[in-house]
Chain A
């Protein structure tokens, strides 16, 4: 079964706007990761946030983690058409040896 669930399933915004995607999970984790996938291609790792961290930044990306609510959010600021892709969260569960991926958010940035 999937560990993470992203919300919304699809998001369409204008270029320059911010995009926020959310991820909820069910069990305790060591870390949570966000990945990007362009249509039909391999996933690319964006950012990892550990269970003892609450916020992390990388360029135009901002990730938050609330372990009490078992949720995370990914914010992409000043979006560009090239940000159009699917975004997946993946959890590294405590006691497990592999990642569990959510079903993804499909982001479309309109030029």
Chain B
């Protein structure tokens, strides 16, 4: 079973709709992240959380909100989706105390806003 899972994997929605993307992990990591990827722009950080009570904005948090329901679950919401939020969204986890280091990524959610 995958260590980091994301649901849904694909979603098409309309402008103005509220959307929730969910992420679950079985790695036991405290740190979780949400990124979006646009063609030619690499990954940009939306929000990150270092534990259940710690939520931080990333580079591009406007238009998004998050909820850390448990150590293993971190959800991303688009309150009122707009077309320029069409992108590939990734959840990731990390534990800086574990070798070899780095972040572990989910398979991604492809979101299309019409």
Give CA–CA (A1, B41) in the complex, Å.
10
Is A41 part of the binding interface, using a Cβ–Cβ cutoff of 8 Å? Answer: yes
Closest to A47 in B: B100
Residues 42-64 (chain A) with a chain B CB within 8 angstroms? 42-45, 47-48
In angstroms, how far is the closest chain A Cβ from the Cβ of B63?
A: 18
In angstroms, how far is the closest chain B Cβ from the Cβ of A21?
A: 14
> Which applies to chain A's interface (DSSP): helix, strand, loop or mixed?
strand
Listed stretches B12-20, B67-75, B78-86, B102-110; interface member: B102-110
Chain A, interface residues (CB within 8 Å), range? 20 to 34
Taking CB atoms, residues of chain B closer than 8 Å to A47 are 100
Is A101 part of the binding interface, using a Cβ–Cβ cutoff of 8 Å? Answer: yes
In angstroms, how far is the closest chain A Cβ from the Cβ of B50?
A: 7
Is A95 part of the binding interface, using a Cβ–Cβ cutoff of 8 Å? Answer: no
In angstroms, how far is the closest chain A Cβ from the Cβ of B62?
A: 15
Is B58 part of the binding interface, using a Cβ–Cβ cutoff of 8 Å? Answer: yes
Taking CB atoms, residues of chain B closer than 8 Å to A43 are 43, 90, 92, 103, 105
Taking CB atoms, residues of chain A closer than 8 Å to B59 are 1
In angstroms, how far is the closest chain B Cβ from the Cβ of A55?
A: 16
Is B55 part of the binding interface, using a Cβ–Cβ cutoff of 8 Å? Answer: no
Q: Are B42 and A40 in contact (CB under 8 A)?
A: no
Chain B, interface residues (CB within 8 Å), range? 20 to 34
Closest to A99 in B: B103
Q: Are A88 and B43 in contact (CB under 8 A)?
A: yes
Q: Are B105 and A44 in contact (CB under 8 A)?
A: yes
Q: Are A42 and B42 in contact (CB under 8 A)?
A: no
Q: Are B42 and A31 in contact (CB under 8 A)?
A: no
Q: Would you list the 4 A-B pairs with minimal beta carbon distance, nearest first?
A: A45-B102, A42-B105, A48-B101, A101-B43
Residues of B bordering A, CB below 8 Å: 4, 33, 35, 40-45, 48, 50, 56, 58-59, 88, 90, 92, 100-108, 110
Other A-B pairs, 10, CB within 8 Å; known A42-B107, A45-B103:
A43-B103, A43-B105, A44-B105, A45-B100, A47-B100, A48-B100, A48-B101, A97-B56, A101-B44, A102-B42
